[in-house]
Amino acid sequence: MLKSSSGLAEEIDSYLETLFPIHRSLTGEGNRESLRILSQIAPIEIMEYPCGEKVFDWTIPPEWKVRDAWIKNPAGEKIVDWRDSNLHVVSYSESVQAKMTFDELAPRLHYLSENPSAIPYRTSYYNRSWGFCVSETQFRGMQEAGGTFEVYIDSDLDPNGSMSIGEIKVAGRRKDEFLISTYICHPSMANDNLSGMLATALLARSMLSRERPEYSWRYVFVPETIGAIAYLKFNESAMKAMNGGFVVTCCGGPGDLGIKETYVGEHLVDRALKLAFRDIGVTPVIYPFIPDGSDERQYSSPGFRIPVATVTKDKYYEYPQYHTSLDDLTLVNGAHLIESLTIYEDAIRILDSNRIVVSKYPKGEVQLGSRGLYPTVGGMIGQSLAGENKKVDHEKLVDLISWVMFLADGTCDLVSISERSGHDFKSVNACIDVLSGHELVEVLPLEQRGSAK
C-alpha cells in the first residue's frame, strides 16, 4: 500500500528533482537512465526494440543522440543553450553548424506569442529537420540585435540504435489481465509526463507490497504513440485479451481531479473510477472519450479495443503551462500527485476485488438473528465492518446487509451493488466476506455472471 502522505510526498519530490533535468525523447540514453531510476521504486524490466523495425503502419525511427546545442550572438556569447533547458532543441533535430543572419535563422526558431517567457516543446520525429525553441523574449532580443548568429547542434540519428521500453508484470491468481501504461518520451515537463512516470512506478510498488492480486496486471513504460504501437505489435495476443486499464498522464498539477473516460463510457473501468471518487466525496471533471490525446488512441484502436481511462489533475491541453518550460517543478509536487495516486489505488482495488454474488437463500429474507448477525448490540458483522473500537451504525449495517442479500441473484457484481445501494465499495466487500463466512452467499468470478440460479 501507499506510504504515509508526508513520507510519500517527500519521496516523490526527491524523484521529481532527480528525473526532471534528464533529456528524454522517443529514443536515447535519457530514457534508459530514467527507467533505471524508476527501477529503484519498482523492478522494471528494460527491453529494447530495434530501430528500423516495422510496427504495423509505422517504423521505429533511428535513435537520436544529442550532445550539445547552442546559438551564439555576433559577440560570440551563448544566448540559447540546450544545457540550460533541454526544450531548447526541437526533438530529433539533425546536426548543424552554420552562421546565418537573423532572417535566415528565424524560420528555425519556435516561440509562443501568447506566453513570452515560455519555451515551447516541439518535435520533428519523422521529418528530417532541425530547429530551436526559444522564449518570445529571446526571439525579440535576437531580432533587435541583428547581425550574424552561429548555430550549433551536435547530434546523431543512429539507424542501428534501439527504442527502450519498461515493463512490470504482476502475476495474479487469475491470468485475466489489466493494463497500466505511461509514456516516458517527454523532456523536462513535470505534469506531462513526469507525473505519470512516477505514479505508474509507485502504483506497481504498492501492488507488489500486498498479497497476490486476483487478476494479473501489466505496467508498461513506453514512448508515446510509437512506443505503444510497437508494444502492441510485439505483444499482440496478450494485448488483445486485456480486460481494460489506465493510461497514466498529467496527474500531478494543482488543478481539479478529472476522468477521461474509456471509449465505452460506462465500462467497468469507468465505473470503478467513478466509485473511487464517490467514496471519498470528490466530484471529478468528466472528459468524454475522443480519439485524441495520449495512448488511448492506440490501445483502443479497432484491432485491440482495450478500454483505458485516465485520472487527470490538470489534463493535457487544459492548463496554460502545457507543452512549455513552465510545466516545471513549481507546478507539480508530491502532495498533488498523491491525490491522483489515491484514486488510482482505490480503482485498482475495486477492479481486482470485484466478484459476482449469489444468495444461498434466495427465497425470502434470511434470518440474520439466528446467526448472530442482526446488529442490535454491535454484533459480529458490526465489528467486522466498523472495527472493534468504532461506533457501529446499526441502521446503516442493516441497510447494507439488506441490499447485498437482495441483489445477490447471480447477475450483480460488487460494483453494481455499491452503485445501487449507495454504500462504499470497501464496506460492500467486507460485508460479502462476512456473509460468505456464514454461508449465506457464494462469490463467483465475473465470467460466471448468471451461471448460478
Q: What CATH number is associated with residue 230?
A: 3.40.630.10
DSSP symbol at 108 = G
Give me 270's grid cell. 469507468
Q: 270 and 237, same structural domain?
A: yes
pLDDT interval class at 450 (50, 70, 90): low
Q: What value does the mean pLDDT take over residues 275-283?
A: 97
Task: Give the integer Cα–Cα distance in Å for 64 and 427.
Answer: 52
Whether 179 contacts 231, CB under 8 Å: no
DSSP symbol at 139 = H
Task: Give the integer Cα–Cα distance in Å for 398 and 384.
Answer: 13
Q: Which of 336, 353, 370 is the last residue of a domain?
A: 353
Query: Mean pLDDT in the chain?
Result: 93
Task: Give the integer Cα–Cα distance in Å for 370 and 360.
Answer: 16
Is pLDDT at 453 greater than 50 in this prediction?
no
Task: Give the integer Cα–Cα distance in Å for 185 and 108.
Answer: 22
State percent of the chain over pLDDT 70.
93
DSSP symbol at 91 = B
User: Is 344 part of a structural domain of the chain?
Assistant: yes
Q: 345 and 235, same structural domain?
A: yes
| Burial category of 355 from C-beta neighbours within 10 Å (exposed 0-12, middle 13-18, buried 19 and up) | buried
Q: 323 and 262, same structural domain?
A: yes
Whether 415 contacts 354, CB under 8 Å: yes
Q: 200 and 140, same structural domain?
A: no
Strand ranges, E, within 269-343: 285-287, 308-313
Residue 13 has a pLDDT of 98
Task: Give the integer Cα–Cα distance in Å for 337 and 342.
Answer: 9
Flag the least confident range among 159-163, 250-254, 381-385: 381-385
Whether 186 contacts 120, CB under 8 Å: no
Q: 295 and 252, same structural domain?
A: yes
Q: How many domains does the chain have?
A: 3
Residue 395 has a pLDDT of 77
User: Is 453 part of a structural domain of the chain?
Assistant: no
| Burial category of 47 from C-beta neighbours within 10 Å (exposed 0-12, middle 13-18, buried 19 and up) | middle
Residue 375 has a pLDDT of 56
Q: Which spans in 306-391 are helix H?
A: 334-353, 380-386
Residue 366 has a pLDDT of 87
User: Is 224 part of a structural domain of the chain?
Assistant: yes
Q: Which of 158, 191, 224 is the last residue of a domain?
A: 158
Q: What value does the mean pLDDT take over residues 191-208?
A: 98
Q: 442 and 417, same structural domain?
A: yes
Give me 294's grid cell. 495520449
pLDDT interval class at 381 (50, 70, 90): very low
Q: 376 and 322, same structural domain?
A: no
**Strands 96-101, 148-158: parallel, antiparallel or unpaired by DSSP?**
antiparallel
pLDDT interval class at 389 (50, 70, 90): very low
DSSP notation for 220-246: EEE-TTHHHHHHHHHTHHHHHT---EE
Q: What value does the mean pLDDT take over residues 38-66?
A: 98
| Neighbouring C-beta atoms of residue 128, cutoff 10 Å | 9
Residue 132 belongs to domain with CATH number: 3.50.30.90
Residue 68 has a pLDDT of 97
Q: What value does the mean pLDDT take over residues 425-437?
A: 92
Q: 224 and 119, same structural domain?
A: no
DSSP symbol at 44 = P
Q: 189 and 50, same structural domain?
A: yes
Flag the least confident range among 124-138, 299-313, 397-411: 397-411
pTM metric for this prediction = 0.93
Q: 291 and 177, same structural domain?
A: yes
Query: Cα dist. 350→347, 354, 425 in Å?
Result: 5, 6, 7
Give me 62's grid cell. 533511428
User: Is 233 part of a structural domain of the chain?
Assistant: yes
Q: What value does the mean pLDDT take over residues 104-126?
A: 96
Q: Which of 141, 158, 175 is the last residue of a domain?
A: 158
Task: Give the integer Cα–Cα distance in Å for 428 and 421.
Answer: 9
Is pLDDT at 216 greater than 50 in this prediction?
yes
Residue 376 belongs to domain with CATH number: 1.10.10.10
Give me 428's grid cell. 460492500
Task: Give the integer Cα–Cα distance in Å for 228 and 243.
Answer: 17
Is pLDDT at 324 greater than 70 in this prediction?
yes
What residue numbers bound the domain in which 80 lies?
65-158
pLDDT interval class at 2 (50, 70, 90): low
User: Is 404 part of a structural domain of the chain?
Assistant: yes
User: Is 52 part of a structural domain of the chain?
Assistant: yes
Amino acid identity of 47?
A: M
User: Is 90 part of a structural domain of the chain?
Assistant: yes
Q: What value does the mean pLDDT take over residues 86-102?
A: 97
Residue 393 has a pLDDT of 66
How big is the chain by its Cα radius of gyration, in Å?
26
Q: Which residue has the cell 523574449?
A: 137
Q: What value does the mean pLDDT take over residues 290-301?
A: 97
Q: 153 and 36, same structural domain?
A: no
Q: 327 and 433, same structural domain?
A: no
User: Is 203 part of a structural domain of the chain?
Assistant: yes
Task: Give the integer Cα–Cα distance in Å for 207 and 261.
Answer: 23
Residue 301 has a pLDDT of 98
